[in-house]
A and B are shown apart, each in its own frame.
Chain A
Amino acid sequence: QLQLQESGPGLVKPSETLSLTCTVSGGSISSTSYYWGWIRQPPGKGLEWIGSIYYSGTTNYNPSLTSRVTIYLDTSKNQLSLKLSSVTAADTAVYYCARHAEMAKGYYYYYGMDVWGQGTTVTVSS
């Protein structure tokens, strides 16, 4: 059974870089046709898609964050990583990693986030 576990500092100072890791167990992060992604949720607010990476390494980022975000895969450790630079209090949130699986319906395929980590809380404060 696939499991995802986020880890990283719970407190980051303003202007610094937030770094999180998502460790994948019960499956390979190199499996074909999957995307892996990061989603965050500020306190009391909705879900915000941060970005996703295809198993091949191709990345896509939220246009509002693209200048500050990097997502990459470490296949040797079976991990997904997130770096968000120049953080402010607005980046305080619960950060989730999730697998995007390809699901068939008829002749077509659709992506959905079918497995999620439990989330990790990151607070940006001096």
Chain B
Amino acid sequence: DIQMTQSPSSLSASVGDRVTITCRASQSISNYLNWYQQKPGKAPKLLIYAASSLQSGVPSRFSGSGSGTDFTLTISSLQPEDFATYYCQQSYNTPPWMFGQGTKVEIK
């Protein structure tokens, strides 16, 4: 089964900062990679699918890149509402479709 590893597990940043989160797959998954945002007490929200395609309604300050085994989620200018935990998930072939362990973005 394909395992997903995110880094860092947490980070502190200020409003306006550029933030980058990394996700690595244990084997090549082409671009079958999703990113989710989860705020405390809420269900996750799909941000990006196919490694770089923005889900409808998601602000353009979010972007994704990568292919194969290495992927990144970038927030170009961190906003107050972006403080949350972010998860990557692979959707390669058929399930199982595992999640990364999450990256918590906190206020500096």
Interface residues of A (CB under 8 A from B): 35, 37, 39, 46-49, 51-52, 60-63, 96, 98, 100, 103, 105, 108, 110-114, 116-119
Interface set, chain B 62-108, CB cutoff 8 A to A? 85, 87, 89, 91, 94-102
Consensus secondary structure, chain B interface: loop
Q: Name the contact of A112 in the complex, choosing from B46, B96, B102 (C-beta under 8 A).
A: B46
Asked whether, in the complex, the Cβ of A49 is within 8 Å of the Cβ of B98, the reply is yes
Asked whether, in the complex, the Cβ of B49 is within 8 Å of the Cβ of A96, the reply is no
Min CB distance B43 to A, Å, is: 4
Asked whether, in the complex, the Cβ of A117 is within 8 Å of the Cβ of B43, the reply is yes
Docked complex Cα distance between A96 and B94 (Å): 20
Asked whether, in the complex, the Cβ of B55 is within 8 Å of the Cβ of A114, the reply is yes
Q: Which of B1, B97, B100 has the most CB of A within 10 A?
A: B97
Asked whether, in the complex, the Cβ of A112 is within 8 Å of the Cβ of B43, the reply is no
Docked complex Cα distance between A63 and B31 (Å): 23
B: interface residue count bin: 20 to 34
User: Does B53 interact with chain A (Cβ within 8 Å)?
Assistant: yes
Docked complex Cα distance between A49 and B101 (Å): 11
Min CB distance B103 to A, Å, is: 10
Q: Name the contact of A49 in the complex, choosing from B46, B94, B99 (C-beta under 8 A).
A: B99
CB-CB under 8 A for A112 and B55, given A35-B95, A46-B101, A103-B49? yes
CB-CB under 8 A for A46 and B102, given A113-B34, A118-B43? yes
Q: Which of A49, A51, A52 has the most CB of B within 10 A?
A: A49
Asked whether, in the complex, the Cβ of B53 is within 8 Å of the Cβ of A47, the reply is no
* Residue on A nearest B1 in the bound complex, by CB: A63
Docked complex Cα distance between A119 and B87 (Å): 17
Docked complex Cα distance between A114 and B103 (Å): 20
> Across the interface, which residues of A come within 8 angstroms of B53, CB to CB?
103, 105, 110
